[in-house]
Structure 1
């Protein structure tokens, strides 16, 4: 039986990866700051990390924090994996980390480099943004009297469960390096996605197009975060909204 460690195994993605692996009959260890018996703060490293990685056949590294620390966490995990002789480290990244100069993207790209140079067997999967990301973004915007939408930006959201399934497949396979990216089924403009969210939530908000200058928005408007040639996702944003809010998906 394969033993796999999932970091961030209680998060949105990691929880689904864990469920899929267990459903397939694998032994899964869940590492997060509060999940016993492998409660470890990867940013600090230290006690518990060596025990968590000991004897595992693969690590799926899903743990990530927008507010920083991912490089330190990855360095601690890689060191522990080397000491334990872990044969395979799988990492989830984002399409565009090498071209969109967002701070978080730069950090994800730096982690990719650490893994590539680690001496471990590795696999890196990049995906486009999850449906959850856009839904949460609109929910935050929905507290305002208008929806301020960045002008000229499109997204290609993908269902997180599909990504989890792919990570589970990769984890039980051989190290494959950088595999083909996963993109959602459609590239859609931000206003189009916002209208879908408004319909699903029964809200009425005027939408305002906001021109935003700068290198980050220039890269996003150029589609650096998109993967139209890898539109392998099946679940649509409307289907995600139905699961999230109930109701019936409506046509655009």
Structure 2
């Protein structure tokens, strides 16, 4: 009888533990509303907040293109202090959003990743001229870290919604491999956008890329699911992305 009691207790504890954990989203287990992602091009101002002022340092243009069974996300970053554009290209499979390809080119480094059974590619540090060949084995499904911000606005958001997103990131100065992004403190609120009060979903996100020290706060239009604003808080400093209309 005592052994049976302990067995039942263990089952109850395991069940409660499972329900208390956040859902882990992967290409094979997600609640993404596919129809919310449409071909689109939008521009966001990149600002640095200093006390009560905001100083523009650049612009980010994002193009989303759905073609056959592939989704392309291409970003161009123009910084005021640089003559060279930063260009990122991400390809994912339609419906599952499984990563296929990611290329990133800027003044500091070039990187190319091809996703299959293994992650292959290269990382070129332009300061040292050292080129590192990439061959990473992965043993669990994941999204591309460059694509997961797009996923957030496609989720079935509601008050107190939380989840973990399995992502792959390659950064030789930080994390390499499959890590997690955590969504928390989701709530419906209003945002003063272009002198109009807009109902938005406010979602806080951290990830292991920054050891969960950087807090990303997304303000997503509750009706259209467009990203209107993105606050980035790190080390007592703050950057802001604002949609240009």
TM-score, L = length of structure 1 = 0.27
Structure with greater strand share of residues: 2
What is the TM-score when the length of structure 2 is the normalising length? 0.28
Which has the larger share of helix?
1
Q: Give the structure with higher Rg (CA).
A: 2
